[in-house]
Amino acid sequence: MTKNVIENFLNNEEGLTMVEYAIGAAIIAGVAISVFTALGDALASLVGSIVTTLDTAGGSGGA
């Protein structure tokens, strides 16, 4: 009987599928965070450059 319980436990793959989905979700979340962080920094730099260019071209006529 104990041998059958151990064999059933080792052959059961339902839990493994959930672990695979959890690992996949964690990897996707990590990649998404990295991409959005990199894009955010690049976008902030681009906007800052545009603002500086417009301020220089426009003279001192601010708000």
Higher pLDDT, 45 or 57: 45
**What pLDDT does 19 receive?**
82
pLDDT in tens, 19-32: 888 999 999 999 99
More confident of the two residues 15 and 32:
32
Q: Could you give the CA distance from residue 58 to residue 52 in angstroms, rounded to a whole number?
A: 10
Burial class (CB in 10 A: 0-12, 13-18, 19+), 4: exposed
| Rounded Cα gap, residues 1 and 6, in angstroms | 9
pLDDT at residue 63, as a whole number: 54
Taking residues 10-37, what's their average pLDDT? Answer: 86
Distance, CA of 43 to CA of 55 (rounded, Å): 18
Radius of gyration of the chain (CA): 27
Q: Where are the domains of the chain?
A: 1-36
